[in-house]
Amino acid sequence: MIIHIDMDAFYASVEVRDNPALRGKPVVVGGSPQGRGVVSAASYEARTFGIHSAMSAAQAVRLCPQAIFIRPRMEHYVALSRQIREIFFRFTPLVEPLSLDEAFLDVAGSRQLFGPAAEIARQIKKTIRDELDLTASAGVAPNKFVAKVASDLEKPDGLVVVPDGTVQEFMDPLSIRRVWGIGPQTETRFQSLGVSTVRGIRQLPMDVLKRSFGIHAGHFWRLSRGIDSRPVVTEREARSISHETTFSHDIAEADALHGWLQELTEQVTMRMRRLQIKGRTLQIKVRFSNFRTITRSTSFSEYTFETRQCVRAARRLLDRVLEDEAQPVRLLGAGLSNLNMDAPVQRTLFDEAERQRQSRIDETCDAVKQKFGNAAVRSAAALSHNIRSRRTVVPEDRYDEQVDG
């Protein structure tokens, strides 16, 4: 059985826990409503006004003028996330983090020690509450998709168990919006077919699904039946690691963009070294002011997590993108994929001394940042353009730190 644990309004709950005067009030964690701030998390009191994560802060304040806006404290949330993850590892080594505040756990091998999966979920929830004074919701099911759906049904502090053999009964009455990949536009197309529940999707003939949804037909067919064969993938088996940021205002200056890209790439490589994972493919993501989004990648001859090598490659990719597009940039991201934690290093007589020197530089910078924070070591470009270390990420099928939902 699979357990999906999802912390309840994680960032907002942490702020309320740390400042009890906020209890019962509409709390929004995110950027400033005076700029392009985005909601990272909203307390359940704020959600009653329609505020949700990824909404613009300006819209949030229109919905709830009395909302209390708090700037995110990412390092604090990351530290708490590590404590939560340590609790998970007490019950199973098979933990797949999805973000700072949620994870899948495969507990099939833990039942002899801790009991049935539902009991393990209860113990995890209780441990988180007792040790961290935070609440989590859990879904228990035969696979990842159904477990994630279940964990969201009775928030906050929920526990929904879907026993093996009851998946179809559980899924059938749910709204089609519970199916991954069905957003407002796809929902409208299903409604034009007279479908509003998962049962309705399941009852559609495959030829109708193919005609209406093309290559996505098989995806909807499987999920409407609660079919999901994906295993729990541990952190060290992640597909890619990346960081991105949306700017408070569009940036047209190439030097400033280079500074931001270096900051993002440094964050990625530092995290790779912490996990002892190397990557062979570096990619960047650029979203312009007209929302046109471009991704570019390059592959190295060997696996690496060396900062200087990755920064140089990222800058070359960005230069090529900027040559072809004159629009200011709204979002910038960098990441490494094609990962390997056991990658051999091809050594040569002439570059070994330089490689060791760069390794010592990276290790020293990592140690200083670990002790004093990311701002303790900054590049000249970051200082000259007043670049602050910050992280937002995209929700994809890989291990990224994401905004709290």
3 state DSSP class of 337: strand
Distance CA 77, CA 99 (A): 11
Encoded tokens for 132: 């961290």
363 as an active site residue: the answer is no
Encoded tokens for 22: 């906020």
Catalytic residue among 45, 102, 266, 306: 102
Q: How many CA atoms lie within 13 A of 277 on its CB side?
A: 22
- 108 secondary structure, DSSP code: G
Task: Say how far residue 264 (Cα) sits from the centre of its chain.
Answer: 15
CB 244 within 8 A of CB 330: no
Buried b (16+ CB within 10 A) or exposed e, 292-312: eeeeeeeebeebbbbbbbbbe
Task: Say how far residue 257 (Cα) sits from the centre of its chain.
Answer: 23
Q: Tokens 């989590």 correspond to what residue? A: 136
Encoded tokens for 12: 């907002």
Task: Say how far residue 139 (Cα) sits from the centre of its chain.
Answer: 19
Please list the alpha-helical segments (H only) found in 92-143. 111-114, 117-132
Give the list of residues 6+ apart from residue 1 with CB closer than 8 angstroms, or none. Answer: 107, 108, 116, 117, 140, 141, 142, 164
Encoded tokens for 353: 């001394």
Cis peptide before 156 (omega within 30 of 0): yes
Cα separations in angstroms, 233 against 102, 183, 395:
14, 26, 16
Task: Say how far residue 56 (Cα) sits from the centre of its chain.
Answer: 18
Q: Which residues are catalytic?
A: 102
